[in-house]
Chain A
Amino acid sequence: MSNKICILDYGSGNVASVYNMVSRLSSAIISNKASDLENASHIILPGVGSFGASISKIREKIPLDALFSSLERGKPFLGICVGMQVLAEFGSEFGKYEGLGLIPGSVDELNSASEKIPHIGWNNILIQQNHPLVNGITEKDDFYFVHSFAFNPSDPKMNIARTNYGADFTSVIANENVMGVQFHPEKSQVSGLTVLNNFMGIQ
């Protein structure tokens, strides 16, 4: 089956970067039209910037009814960076904001007093449980991170991988077909391409 990836467009700065990489693996479009969402085989929500600014733009620009009904039908979904964080119920960056509530939990400031914030740079992930998204990934794979906040899932079973930066935080999360990565796979060389390719292999 040939994939068609819809990269959700809500004015996030890194849409072009995500498109550049995804379109080299599969056919892809950047869109916020309900029909494109419905016709896509996979959906990606990119993200860069703060929780509050992103969630308001998402609510304004993305047809959430179409998104939620696609997700209920089991369509694979990947949130990247802030695109992962907004899946939570709440975010506490610059005030308290309500997220999309697709994965129970909240997004709170990184708990790494001993390290510089934001966490900028390459770091590895420590896989907590097998998941198709992290097939072939080991502790030797590094990914590019840029963030000051992290996802605290209420249900530890949704925590697929953790990363250490002063303290551990959730770097890969999954609630059935709704998945998220805190790092930027589109900017993580071959390790990132492996994760994106894994995502596109999930039907």
Chain B
Amino acid sequence: MRKNRIIPIVLFKDGHVVQSKKFREYKNLGNPLLTINRLSEWGADEICFLDISRDNNWQGGRSDLNERTPATFLEVLAEVSKVAYMPLTCGGGIRTMEDVELRIKNGADKISLNSAIFCNPALIQDAIKEYGSQSVVASVDVKFVGDKYKVYIHGGQTCIDQDWKDYLRRVEDLEVGEILLNSINNDGGKEGYDLSMLSIATSLVSIPVIACGGVGEWEHFRSALTETEIDAVAAANIFQHQDQSVYQAHKFLFVHGINVRPPRLLETNYLKVTTNELL
């Protein structure tokens, strides 16, 4: 039987992994290679690696810690993909087919597109034609304003003038493989997902929908998987603050009878190269 996926999101900004709150406040959490390696070893089903840098403000590694300092996001991607024992989705700043190709070439299994869906739908079609629907994830950021949901692009900065339901149908018509649906209101709030947003979205489209935004405890995964028809649950911050977080999440859901992969750490005893050698 197919399992529901639990997907850690790693937000990357100006050279570092960061924590985000309401798309406005960012806290530095450290090195992306170490972060993704940990999540991989704890048995993540998939990882979503999003570059949310806005302007050219690269800060690189910590010279005081003797860290190697890759100079671009693509170099970071190439390194993290070597420790990703599960599918790696890469998003952020993708505007041309060359951007898509470079990400796939540097180890991304899927690419996630957001503003381009609205600004440049031809790019989505080209990417699907070249790499297939399964390689393209549409990331949609939604905010509840007044009495309705609205879609935002450009990292939550621009509200688009289209009904959000029509927008979701349009995204599906582009034949993307799945939708990563994020609530801007709930982002970083630790109060749980916007379940009504998820229910409406899954009733509108027939492609897989991944829930995102607001997880503060494992129970929030459970409520989304039991009360809505979503296919996968994603979260960022919660996976960063406790040892073996991914393992613990799988364990919680598995014990509660949710259809997920059983908790399992990656046993690396037969690997020729250890991660320490890579670092």
A: residues with CB less than 8 A from B are: 13-14, 16-17, 20-21, 23-26, 48-50, 115-116, 118-124, 140, 142, 144-147, 164-165, 184, 187-190, 192-193, 197
Contact = CB atoms under 8 A, between A and B. Distances in A.
26 contacts: A14-B109, A16-B105, A25-B271, A25-B272, A49-B132, A115-B2, A116-B208, A118-B177, A120-B178, A122-B3, A123-B3, A124-B1, A142-B3, A142-B261, A144-B87, A145-B2, A147-B134, A187-B86, A187-B87, A188-B86, A189-B40, A189-B85, A189-B266, A190-B266, A192-B85, A197-B270
B231 interface: yes
B133 interface: yes
A165 B231 CA distance: 14
B232 interface: yes
A144 B261 CA distance: 11
A140 B232 contact: no
A24 B232 contact: no
Contacts of B131: 13, 48-49
B272 A120 contact: no
A13 B135 contact: yes
A119 B133 CA distance: 12
Given A25-B271, A146-B134, A189-B43, A16 B106 contact: yes
Given A48-B132, A120-B177, A17 B109 contact: yes
B208 to A, nearest CB: 6
Contact of B272 (A24, A115, A144, A187): A24
Given A23-B273, A123-B2, A142-B3, A118 B81 contact: no
B220 to A, nearest CB: 20
A115 B2 CA distance: 10
A140 B262 contact: yes
Interface residues of B, number: 42
A147 B132 CA distance: 10
A20 B82 contact: yes
B124 to A, nearest CB: 16
A104 to B, nearest CB: 26
**Binding site secondary structure of chain A:** mixed
Contacts of B38: none
A13 B104 contact: yes
A122 B2 contact: yes
A144 B84 CA distance: 13
B267 interface: yes
A116 B134 contact: no
A20 B272 contact: no
B207 interface: yes
Closest 7 CB pairs of A and B: A146-B134, A122-B3, A123-B2, A49-B132, A24-B273, A142-B261, A20-B82
A161 B264 CA distance: 22
A192 B87 CA distance: 12
A187 B46 CA distance: 9
Interface in B235-264: 261-262, 264
B2 to A, nearest CB: 5
B85 to A, nearest CB: 5
A183 to B, nearest CB: 11
Given A164-B1, A187-B109, A192-B85, A118 B261 contact: no
B73 to A, nearest CB: 16
A17 B105 CA distance: 9
Contact of A122 (B45, B105, B132): B45
Contacts of B4: 121
A118 B134 contact: yes
B107 interface: yes
Contact of B107 (A17, A50, A146, A165): A17
A37 to B, nearest CB: 22
Given A146-B134, A187-B87, A189-B266, A17 B1 contact: no
A187 to B, nearest CB: 5
Contacts of B132: 48-50
A118 B85 contact: no
Contacts of B157: none
Nearest to B129: A53
Nearest to A140: B262
Interface in B45-75: 45-46
Nearest to B262: A140
